[in-house]
Amino acid sequence: MITNPEQQEKHQHTVHIKINGMEHKTHPGENSVEHLRQLGRVPEHETLSQEKAEGRLDLEEKGHLEIHGGEVFVSHKRHHDHPEVEVTINKSVHKTHRGKNSIEHLKHLGGVPKDEILSEFKDKEFIDFGAEGHVEIHGGEIFVGHRPGEPIVEVTNLNTNESVKFFAKWDETLQQVWTTAYAELKESPKPGDELLCDGGASLMTYLSCTLAQLREKKVCLHRKYQIRRATGGA
């Protein structure tokens, strides 16, 4: 019989979940995956997955998840060959499991704040994801976090036609964007370099303008910039 009021309250607030076909009780709210593994006596060499309408989702060993009651979990043997793959999130390489990864998990992995949007850079384009949902991970994916509505800029090095695309901020100056572009292109600025709008117009008189100001002035609205290096001749 439970006499401690605190324990009694906890007891009253347990919910039922299933792990490998067996029913277990746990507390509603955030549960660690470690706790669920212990509860279901999941062997060390197995991965715990949650059965969801959209498919089976592997859970991170050190992760957490919200329990409401009625959740179903199963464990299965880990992939023996390359159980984990590498993805890049905000320029840092992270390891995660192959297959379905939740957006929430990827954001947590990469330290992307909850109020930011996770975006995948694929085929030279950014694809935004909603706050929920999953991504099929094969390895090598590139993700970035960005605030809603932030502008994308594209900068081409005219010496090579190499281009970089990245999220900037509306209050960044064109000079700051240019500096970022050099780093992204792994280039160093040289005296005589010129920033152009795609099409050839010089932007050198606008370097102190923010991207928001350039938008108001309707200057290079598509934000496709080019770095031209001076040459000798004449």
Partner 1 sequence: MAQAGTMPVLATPSDAISALERDLPKALRNRSLEEAGWRRPDGMTLVVPLQGRQANGTVDEYLLKLGFAYYPEWPPSALFVNPQTLNYDSDKDKCWLPLIDGCPEIAVHAKYQTIGQLICCSLTLEFYAIKHDVKPEHVWIAQKHNFSATINQIDWVLKSPFYKGRQNALPSR
At closest approach, how far in Å is the CB of 229 from partner 1?
Answer: 8
Beta carbon nearer to partner 1, 3 or 231? 231
Beta carbon nearer to partner 1, 115 or 123? 123
Rounded to the nearest 10°, the torsion over CA 168, 170, 172, 178 is 50
Rounded Cα distance, 99 and 83, in Å: 10
Please give the residue ranges that form the binding site for partner 1 (CB under 8 A). 158-162, 190-192, 196, 199-200, 226, 228-234
CA nearest neighbour of 155 among 122, 191, 189, 129: 189
Contacts of range 126-129, beta carbons closer than 8 Å, 24 or more positions apart: 126/152, 126/165, 126/167, 129/103
At closest approach, how far in Å is the CB of 198 from partner 1?
Answer: 11
Q: In b/e form, how buried is each residue of 131-159, taking b as 16+ CB within 10 angstroms?
A: eeebbebeeebebbbbeeebbebbbbbee
What three-state secondary structure class fits 183? Answer: helix
At closest approach, how far in Å is the CB of 127 from partner 1?
Answer: 18
CA angle 67/41/10 to nearest 5° reads: 40
CA angle 17/98/131 to nearest 5° reads: 65
